[in-house]
A and B are shown apart, each in its own frame.
Chain A
Amino acid sequence: MARITAGVGSSHVPLLGVAVDQGKDRDDYFGPIFAGYDWTREWEKETKPDVIVLVYNDHASAFDMKIVPTFAIGCGERYKSADEGWGPRPVPDVEGHPDLAWHIAQSLILDEFDMTIINEMDVDHGLTVPLSMMFGKTDKWPVKVVPLAVNVVTYPVPSGNRCWALGEAIKRAVESFPEDLNVQIWGTGGMSHQLQGPRAGLLNREWDNKFLDMLEADNDEVRWIPHIEYLRETGSEGIEMVMWLIMRGALGKKVRRLHRHYHIPCSNTAIGHIVLEPEE
C-alpha cells in the first residue's frame, strides 16, 4: 500500500532558482535562506521518497486566461521546465507517475472533487524551485512527481477549508493505491508577499509564524482562516498559503514537526519552510 509519510511546506520564489542555477546560493544574501534547507536535504537523502505530490500554482506559464482550472492534476509521463520569459531554467525534466496520478485523479472525482486532468504541460518555478531547494543541483531528480496545480490568482480562489478537505481526500486516494510507495506531499508558495500596487513589499513575520504554529497544532483551526485575512495580513500574493493546507490536510489530525525555518527577505517575499510527519 502507498502511504503519505511526510509533508513539506516551502516558498517557491523564482529568485531562489536563479541563485541555484548561478551558484549564488551560499553568498551573503542567499546563504541564510539556503542554510535553513540543509537539514531537509539530508533528511530527503535518508528518507528516499518515491513520489512527491507537489501542490503549486502556475504563474501564467502552462495556463493563460483562456482556461482557469481551480484544481488540476498532472497525469503525464514527464514535464519540461517552462520558459517564463527569461529562458527555461536549466533543470532536468520532471518525471511524472501516471499510474499513481490517474489513481489519485479517479479517486478524487469519486470523492466529489471534480479535478481537471492535465496530460501535457510545462512546469514553472512554482514546481521546480521547491525541487531545487530540497534536492539541490542535479542531472536527474531523485523522485517522481505528481503535479497538483491550484488557481490562487483569479478570485475566488478555493477556500482554506476546501483545500484542507482536498488534502484529506488525497490521503485516502494514496492509501488505496496497491503498490508500496513512499509518498510525500509538498505545499508550496507564500509566505507573506505582495507583488502589486502601492502596498507592494508588505511582509508580516508575526502572522506568518502564527500560521506555521497553526500547521503544527493538533487541530484543524487553520482551515477556517478567510481569504480576506490572508490578503490584509500577508499581502495579495500571501494567499498562496492556502496551498499549504492541502499538504496539512493530507497528514491527518496529529503531526510532529521535524524542521522549521523562516527568513526575511528574498526579493519581495518572506521565506517559510516546514517539515511535518503524520503522527497516528
Chain B
Amino acid sequence: MTQPAKPTQNIHEYLAELEDIPGTRVYTAARARKGYHINQFAMSLMQDENRQRFKADEKAYLDEWPISDEAKAALLKRDYNTLLDLGGNVYFLSKLFSTDGLSFAEAVSTMTDMTFPEYRDMMLKGGRSPEGNRSIKGGY
C-alpha cells in the first residue's frame, strides 16, 4: 500500500524564521549544543551540597566545568542576556535565580531595559504589547 508523502517543513526556512524575533533567543539545537555545559552547570545547583560549594567560592566551582571564560564571566556577573547568546536556557538558568534567592519575575526583569518595579508595573498593566515586537525583518 502506497500513501502520498506528507509535506514537511523546510528545515532551513524554519530555523531562519526563529532568528527573526526581536529581543528573543529561541533555544534551537545550535544554542543547546553551544550552551550544553552552562545548562548542566546550572542543573547541578539543584543539589544543596553543590549550591553550598558554589556559594562558598563561585569562581572555583565554575572552574570545575568545561565552559569558556566568557561564559564564566557572564555567570559571575549574572549577565543573563549574554548567557542566552552563549546557549543558556532560562529553565536551566532559573536554578541560579533560586540559588540567589531571586523570584523568577525579578530575574527575568534584569534581561529587559527596565528596573524590577518598572517591569512589575508593566505586567500589572497588561504586559508588553506584541505590537512592533513580532518580526525584525518585517518591523511589525
Contact = CB atoms under 8 A, between A and B. Distances in A.
Interface of A: 14-15, 59-61, 64-66, 83-86, 153-156, 159, 192, 194-205, 207, 226-228, 231-234, 236, 264-265, 267-268, 270
Given A65-B40, A264-B127, A199 B91 contact: no
A60 B104 contact: no
A228 B137 CA distance: 14
A265 B26 contact: no
Given A64-B39, A83-B46, A199 B98 contact: no
B123 A199 contact: no
A200 B134 contact: no
Interface residues on B, range: 35 or more
10 contacts: A60-B94, A65-B32, A84-B46, A153-B27, A196-B24, A196-B111, A197-B81, A226-B9, A228-B18, A264-B126
Interface string B50-91: 000000000000000000000000000000110010000111
Contact of B36 (A65, A196, A227, A236): A65
Interface string B1-35: 00000000100001001100111111111001000
Given A155-B28, A201-B122, A60 B95 contact: yes
Q: Give chain B's interface secondary structure class.
A: helix
Contact of A155 (B29, B108, B129): B29
A256 B104 CA distance: 36
Contacts of A15: 103-104
B123 A85 contact: no
Contacts of B46: 61, 83-85
Given A60-B43, A60-B94, A201-B122, A231 B24 contact: yes
B26 A60 contact: no
A14 B104 contact: yes
